[in-house]
Structure 1
Amino acid sequence: MKPEDSASIKEKKVISIGTVRELTGLSERQIRYYEERKLIFPARSGSGIRKYSFSDVERLMDIANQMEEGVQTHEIRREWKKKEKASEDWKKQMLKGQIQAHFKNNKQ
């Protein structure tokens, strides 16, 4: 298996809410609440059944740990948005550097 395959497997939305409940120890009500608060984004099957990924399970565990520490859902969402923006900015800088290096090397 290639490294990129494991990343795509981790993101596949194939896990039912019942299995997520068993894996995380959270109730279905808690899981749905985190979805309502825009902290988790399950896929929906044609019949409307929620499907989660392994990444979603990890995220739910992180949410539960932070909630136990007294962090509010809006604070969790704000921090994740900051991290996502920083990651996007970093990717843009890397791409910009690669493009500049490519054109610099081709001119020589």
Structure 2
Amino acid sequence: MSVDKTSYKDKKVMSIGIISELTGLSERKIRYYEERKLIFPERTGRGTRKYSFSDVEILMEIANQIEDGVQTFEIKKEMTKRQQREERNKMIRGQINAQFNIRN
């Protein structure tokens, strides 16, 4: 029996309607943020979008920045930078762990 180690926050289980209710954003805005590559829902076999609690947090962050006058391209740029930093930090931690034979 395999155990799914995905955090509950990252499991894509909610529909766009629920996400709209949770965030107060219209479904149209949520789809727009997807088009702008700011959010990445999974799709079911029938094409239904599925979101996670992590996606809710991201959408709320986007909405707050938009409200503050930040443009979507600026948000995307900052998200890309943040992701690159996280990936670099993860790689460095892996190298350190390997160097000192540390197991997680």
Unaligned residue ranges in structure 2 (runs of 5+): none
Distance between the aligned counterparts of 2:8 and 2:39, measured in 1? Answer: 18
TM-score, with length taken from structure 2: 0.88
**What whole-Å deviation, never above 9, does each CA across 1:28-59 have from its counterpart, x for those lacking one?**
11000000000011111111111101101111
In structure 2, the partner of 1:90 is 89
Moved more, 54-63 or 7-16: 7-16
**Moved >4 Å (runs of 4+):** none
- Number of residue pairs matched? 98
Distance between the aligned counterparts of 2:43 and 2:91, measured in 1? Answer: 31
In structure 2, the partner of 1:68 is 67
Distance between the aligned counterparts of 2:92 and 2:42, measured in 1? Answer: 31
CA drift at 1:65: 0.3
Q: State the identity %.
A: 59
**Larger Rg, first or second structure (1 or 2):** 1
**Which amino acid counterpart does residue 30 of structure 2 have in structure 1?**
I
For 1:33, what is the secondary structure of its paired residue?
helix
In structure 1, the partner of 2:35 is 36
What RMSD in Å do the two structures reach over aligned CA positions? 1.4
In structure 1, the partner of 2:57 is 58
Between Structure 1 and Structure 2, the one with more helix by share is 1
TM-score, with length taken from structure 1: 0.85
